[in-house]
Amino acid sequence: MKRLLRIGTRGSRLALWQTEYVRNCLKTAFPELELTVHIYKTLGDRQPDLNLLENQGKGVFCSELERALQEGEIDLAVHSVKDLPGRLAAGLILAGFLKREDPRETLVARDGLDLDALPSGALVGTSSVRRQVQLANLRPDLRFEPIRGNVETRIQKVLDGQYDATVLALAGLRRLGLERHITQVFALSEMIPAPGQGCIGVEIREGDRALAELLQGISDSGTEAAVRAERAFLKEIGGHCRSPYGAYGVMEGDRFTLTGMFGEGCRLSVMTLTAAPPEAEALGARLARMLLGGKKG
C-alpha cells in the first residue's frame, strides 16, 4: 500500500468538513499515511441555476470527482452518499462507509414555526420532489418552488424572506453547527429520507484492492449494509425518474430492516421488509420491485 493518498472533494463547507473527517479517521487508523486534499467543481457547482428537479439522479455533484478518479488524478473521492446516482461511473466502486449520522429531515422556517404553524399557502423552497411530495401529503395547502445554493445559502434565503421555510438534512446541519436554525425534526414515519442520507461514502477505482481493504479499517458494518441496501433500492427503482422515492435501512438486533417509499402522482406507497444482514443488498432490489408493482418476493 502506497503511503501517499490523494483525496478528491467538492469545495463546499460541508464537503470539506466531510473530507477532513475522513482524512482524520484515516490518519488516526494509519498514521504512516500522507494524505493530500484536491478540490474540484462538479457540474452542480459550475451551474448554480441548474434545475435539480430535471436532473434528479444524474450525479451532478460527483461528475468531476469521478472523472478525476478514472483518470488517476486522485486515489479516492469523498461524497455525501445521497448525492450519488444509482449507477456509479465505469470502473468505480464505493469502498468506505463512515458511521451514519442521523438521517432525518428538518424544517427550517422563519419565526421559529413548525409545519403545523406555517400559514396557509406558505412557500417552501425545495429542489427535491421526494421532500415536496411528502410535505404536501402532510400539508396539501403549501406552495413549492426550487431553491439552490449550499446549506448556509438556503437558510439565509429563508431568513431573508424569499421563502417561508425549507427542508434540510439533519446530518448536514449538525456537521456545520447550524442546529439552532431547526424549527422541527421530522420523524422517519413522516418523511422518509433519500437513499444514503446522513452517510459519508468513499469512492475508489474498482481494481484498487489494497485501498479497499484499508478503507474497511474506518468503515462501519451497519452503515455499509444500509448503504448497499438503499443503493440497490435506488438502482432498481430507477433514480433518474421524476417520481419521488426514498429508503432507509437499519440493523435491529440480528435483523436488517428496510423501509422504502415510491410515489405516483399524489399517491405514496410505503413498505417495510426485513432480512438477515447478508441479504440486505438483495432486499433493497426486492423492495423496489414490490413498490413498482413487479413480481412479489
Span of 87-101, 132-146, 179-193, 238-252 with lowest mean pLDDT: 238-252
CA 233 to chain centre: 13
Query: What are 145-164's pLDDT values in tens digits?
Result: 999 889 999 999 999 999 99
55 pLDDT band, cuts 50/70/90, is very low
Task: Indicate whether 43 pLDDT > 80.
Answer: no
In total, the chain counts a number of residues equal to: 297
SS3 183: coil
Cell of 27: 490518519
CB contact at 8 A, 291 and 260: yes
pTM of the full structure: 0.91
296 pLDDT band, cuts 50/70/90, is very low
- Going along the chain from its start, the domains and CATH numbers come out as 1-99+199-219 (3.40.190.10), 105-185 (3.40.190.10), 220-291 (3.30.160.40)
CB contact at 8 A, 85 and 203: no
SS3 227: helix
Query: What are 71-95's pLDDT values in tens digits?
Result: 999 999 999 999 999 999 999 999 9
Distance (Å, whole) CA 292 – CA 262: 8
DSSP 279: G
Give pLDDT, residue 1: 59
CB contact at 8 A, 202 and 35: no
- Which of the residues 83, 111, 116, 141 is marked catalytic? 83
Span of 11-15, 42-46, 252-256, 257-261 with lowest mean pLDDT: 42-46
Give pLDDT, residue 32: 95
Distance (Å, whole) CA 98 – CA 223: 7
Closest alpha carbon to 61 in 35, 43, 49, 38: 43
Task: Indicate whether 167 pLDDT > 50.
Answer: yes
Cell of 121: 399557502
**Phi, psi values for residue 107, rounded to 5°:** -100, 135
Query: What are 104-136's pLDDT values in tens digits?
Result: 999 999 999 999 999 999 999 999 999 999 999
Task: Indicate whether 13 pLDDT > 50.
Answer: yes
CB contact at 8 A, 196 and 81: yes
Span of 53-67, 166-180, 222-236, 277-291 with lowest mean pLDDT: 53-67
Task: Indicate whether 144 pLDDT > 70.
Answer: yes
Give pLDDT, residue 267: 81
Residue 116 known to be catalytic: no
Q: Which residues, 6+ apart, have CB-to-CB distance to 268 below 8 Å?
A: 133, 134, 137, 244, 261, 262
Q: How many CB atoms lie within 10 A of CB 125?
A: 20
Residue where the block lists cell 413498490: 291
239 pLDDT band, cuts 50/70/90, is low
Task: Indicate whether 264 pLDDT > 60.
Answer: yes
